[in-house]
Amino acid sequence: MALEHAILVSLLEKPGSGYELARRFERSIGYFWTATHQQIYRVLKRMEGDGWIDVREVPQQGRPDKKEYSVAGPGRAALSGWLHEPIEPESVRHDLAVKIRGAAFDDPAALIREVERHHRAHSDRLAHYLAGELRDFTGPEAPAAPGDAGQELQHVVLRGGIAYERMTIAWLDDVLATLHRLRAGH
């Protein structure tokens, strides 16, 4: 997937400024695709040049006007074409897994801190995802929109992120138990 496709999806969900788009990447699109502010602005400029998006100036009180982006016909066509193309299943490239295997040739216990750090990071991400799910889909403040394809598809992607983090945490628990057992055996 190219960043362009993630931007098109976000702008079809709701037009917005580059800043608003970057915030969405931090808040929800980042569940499955990350990009820096600089990357987003660079790609927006290219997409505008290619005619994929329209830009309008929005006046603001006490601040410079902002640019609001929305998807143009060619951008919608590009997204549709991409949606109909097959993609290959993703391969996992996992540096930590290689380190864990390599620890057999060094001191496996030396990896405990690193694995614990990864465990905390994944636990924090899971907590963030669960809070987002409560806020956006299941809590009392969540918009009630049964049958809304956009909401349902956003939620199923989030549930995938939640399942992935839970699986990763369970695996890291297993790794830690193994490392502690190996340390005790030496």
First-residue to last-residue Cα distance in the chain: 46
pLDDT at 141: 66
pLDDT at 31: 63
pLDDT at 146: 62
| pLDDT of 91 above 80 | no
Over range 86-111, report the average pLDDT: 85
- The SS3 assignment for 91 reads coil
| pLDDT of 34 above 70 | yes
Over range 97-111, report the average pLDDT: 89
Over range 28-55, report the average pLDDT: 86
Distance CA 133, CA 147 (A): 17
Distance CA 179, CA 175 (A): 6
What tens digit of pLDDT does each residue of 149-182 get? 888 888 898 899 999 999 999 999 999 999 999 9
- pLDDT band for position 145 (cuts 50, 70, 90): low
pLDDT at 90: 76
pLDDT at 153: 87
